[in-house]
Amino acid sequence: MEFKLNNKGFSLREFIAVLLVMVIVTLVVLNVFFKGNKNLPYKNFRNLAKDFSINATSLRDSDPKYHNRVFLVDTIKNNYSHELSNPFNKKENCDKYESKVVFDEANKKKITLKCGNYLIFNEDGFSSADGYTIYKVSKWSEKVITGGNVQTQTFYNYSLDGNLVLDKYLIEKEFLETYSSKTGNNILSLSQVDTDKYTIEKKTYYRTMEEVD
């Protein structure tokens, strides 16, 4: 004798089969939804890098002073952009001094954008943003790192009578701006530091890079 679930003749087995199909469809839809939300910050990060490169190019075209490189801080100061919010953490902004667009003699441009622990590094400014590689990076450290994908960068400080003036070492762009602010001199390169009075101090810092998307 067959068990009938309702007057239309659906059996319990048929009801369970329909229910299972509905559950599977729901799971597929939820998976697509959450996967899309998970990938959204990466997509926004790539688009942010592309927009930054466009603003940097506009600034460079309008001011010969920026003929070979434009930092995010330059576009902000010259009102070509505002502070960029980190797509992975809306409570913080992207790094103004690591983020830059570099132009070569053939007018090609390379984009670097650093937001929190995420980095787009030296990508072709004329290619599609969808192809930009995204890395997750560690904090800069004086400790030597070997093996794997490692970045190195020179950080700067300056001393007076053997005593360091700044409480930490800074990457070049931030160092130049900090030195200018403290000394009242608007300098654009390390060669303009008053080495008769001050000594430039250098350190090499290291960090790891791991491709994430």
pLDDT tier for residue 1 given thresholds of 50, 70 and 90? very low
Instruction: List the beta strands (DSSP E) in 51-149.
Output: 69-71, 100-103, 109-115, 118-124, 135-137
pLDDT of residue 106: 84
% of the chain with per-residue pLDDT over 90: 75
Strand partners, 119: 114, 135
pLDDT in tens, 150-181: 999 999 999 999 999 999 999 999 999 999 99
Give the pLDDT of residue 3: 45
Full-model pTM:
0.80
pLDDT over 70 (residue 101): yes
Name the residue ranges covered by the structural domains of the chain.
Answer: 138-208
Average pLDDT over every residue of 178-202: 95
For the stretch 63-99, pLDDT in tens is: 999 989 999 999 999 999 999 999 999 899 999 999 9
